Structure 1
């Protein structure tokens, strides 16, 4: 009574994308992405697929959709890391080990056919997007682009023989009217060294995000799971962020007019998405316009400082300016996420501003050869 079907047309793709709406129907914490946007995201319109390929599978139990999974061969990852790792992601499933194992098997076989030896995930679709299963912190909803799932997803993964490979942390802090003295003192030191900050111009967001690309591709290249971002991916990202970005929360740090740091926070649009249930109708558009004005929280989404400028106050000056903007806009909370469990410099920075770890995301892997 269990059947796995590959997504081969638009009808199945819509079923694949819509499946979580049924699984989380009674869960008030779940925020569905817009169905239309997600369907486009999983097609060649997404520049991710210029450097990767994927298969999508739906599980049916007793004729009803019971789960889904994506299996991804990421050529950009393989070129950079040369580690024979393939990925699973977009995993959703009823609490049924048989269904989960069948889905994992489909992903494993696809990766094996592509001569890969390790299956890692979840990645939706790469480390530049949503990563991990929520492992700790189920008592509050997840912010924008942070995974949300039932606790049993971790049990299903471990029952399939997967082991933890990396934890990702999320930290939360009340937006302070006044930052700690240390932050302000270090920010002033950075200013004396010629570090300047500016906010971005939304009308030129693509070009502005090229500064982030330059900083990110230099600052993160030694980090676990890093994959360089391309200009096409930045253009695609800009189109997605432009409707929700606020200039005062996106800060570029410069020295002699060259970008050395980037801080990009966005409002937690999940506060709106939880009310839209994945669909834009005339009524839901009115809802979205109304509730976006009531968003209380922001999430630090883009962050990096070039290696030669770390520990020189660049981080502090960007935080100072962004938090000033957050106060002006009336935001109450800020999430720093996600942060690798062994990225001690950034973790220490969150401690200085008084943030507390409140969620953990877990990435798993197992050998499949």
Structure 2
């Protein structure tokens, strides 16, 4: 292994090293945005992140000559049966490092009876998903990964193949909607349809409605894992500083919420110069930027339409009603760009909308890989 040593993360110091490692790898990358250290520690803490109380996971750091050169995670989620996952991958451009990381993660998964591995998931499909394979020249939006161009080929050299591609589309709020969409939106809305923004006085109830629609809308999609009550509460707490009542919209049909769309300010734009630290003055800068709405970009991370509307004309209109509201709010706030991400390559209706609003093809592509593993008996021998 060319002097490469792989050790699990066991201490707070190890975790700090694990979190900081991508910053060194991307030190010369102008598009990279260092995540907030505090947020990363909370995301990787079983006490703070309820997901980690449901799954078994392990983090490793690769070192050569005592110097960190790579990292990886492995996750065993009982809800996924024989499928294991890897994630949080970062490594120098060295196949030996990538090989050592994957072999360690794969053996750990094989020992737990996993016969297939998919990833990257940081740390589930409901968090950061996929490895960037196209669109390296622009910074990532909030809760989207960013990777080096060499990493995809390095992963494929370890026997991984594409399982699914995910797309991101960028809409310029100053560019008019295509005429075909404008014609649809100019028609009178059916009398049974009501479009409303979030009621802040019913915050918890509104988020429960969002999750109920999401779990129904996505239940038949590739890789779906439902949000649980504990994850809902964690999401509600973590999103609250970013959430604005006019950035969460519901469409009701006959008095029942049938669709929703959530947009968030692009936190990455506001923390880009903080280098991951909120000390000594990062807190003040971030609070001021949020309060003054200095951001010029946002992301739509969650959207859903109940399954009962998926195959009728009204169901095709519901996302457009929501996008119209996001466009209006974006222009009112001087938000120039809104990213719709991510969209499964198999989700043709949303891809068509993304391509129409984004002026063509996706501007970023992320890939989820898969690989068959040896049976547990063969791995043990």
Report the TM-score range of the alignment, normalised by the length of the smaller protein: over 0.9
> How far did 1:51 drift?
2.3
CA distance in 2: counterparts of 1:181 and 1:104, whole angstroms: 49
> How far did 1:206 drift?
3.2
> How far did 1:182 drift?
4.2
Matched, 1:327 2:315: no
> How far did 1:254 drift?
1.3
- The CA deviation string for residues 204-243 of structure 1, in whole angstroms up to 9 with x for no partner, is 4332221111111111111100011112111111112111
CA distance in 2: counterparts of 1:239 and 1:2, whole angstroms: 40
Matched, 1:241 2:239: yes
> How far did 1:178 drift?
5.0
Gaps of 5+ in 1: 79-83
Q: Which residue of 1 aligns with 2:92?
A: 94
Q: CA 1:180 to 1:258, structure 2 compared with 1: closer, same or farther past 3 Å?
A: same
Q: Which residue of 1 aligns with 2:145?
A: 147
SS at structure 1 position matched to 2:281: helix
> How far did 1:33 drift?
1.8
SS at structure 2 position matched to 1:58: strand
CA distance in 2: counterparts of 1:136 and 1:359, whole angstroms: 5
Q: Which residue of 1 aligns with 2:379?
A: none
Q: Which residue of 1 aligns with 2:78?
A: 75
SS at structure 2 position matched to 1:209: helix
CA distance in 2: counterparts of 1:271 and 1:291, whole angstroms: 10
Q: Find the partner of 1:37 among 36, 39, 46.
A: 39
Q: Which residue of 2 aligns with 1:281?
A: 279
SS at structure 1 position matched to 2:136: coil
Matched, 1:342 2:346: yes
> How far did 1:303 drift?
0.5
Normalised to the residue count of structure 1, the TM-score between the two structures is: 0.93
Gaps of 5+ in 2: 375-381
Q: Find the partner of 2:364 among 347, 356, 359.
A: 359
Moved more, 36-45 or 134-143: 36-45
RMSD over aligned CA atoms reads 1.8
Q: CA 1:190 to 1:319, structure 2 compared with 1: closer, same or farther past 3 Å?
A: farther
Q: CA 1:159 to 1:34, structure 2 compared with 1: closer, same or farther past 3 Å?
A: same
Q: Which residue of 2 aligns with 1:81?
A: none
Structure 1 segment 189-268 matched on structure 2, within 5 A: 191-202=189-200, 204-268=202-266
SS at structure 2 position matched to 1:157: helix
CA distance in 1: counterparts of 2:309 and 2:321, whole angstroms: 12
Q: Which residue of 2 aligns with 1:308?
A: 308
Confirm or deny: 8 A CA contact 2:31 2:136 kept in the other structure. no
Confirm or deny: 8 A CA contact 1:187 1:314 kept in the other structure. no
Q: CA 1:154 to 1:354, structure 2 compared with 1: closer, same or farther past 3 Å?
A: closer
CA distance in 2: counterparts of 1:190 and 1:349, whole angstroms: 20
Matched, 1:55 2:53: no
> How far did 1:203 drift?
5.5
Confirm or deny: 8 A CA contact 1:267 1:299 kept in the other structure. yes
CA distance in 1: counterparts of 2:12 and 2:125, whole angstroms: 26
SS at structure 2 position matched to 1:282: coil
Runs of 4+ in 1 over 4 A off after TM superposition: 187-190
> How far did 1:263 drift?
0.4
Confirm or deny: 8 A CA contact 1:183 1:317 kept in the other structure. no
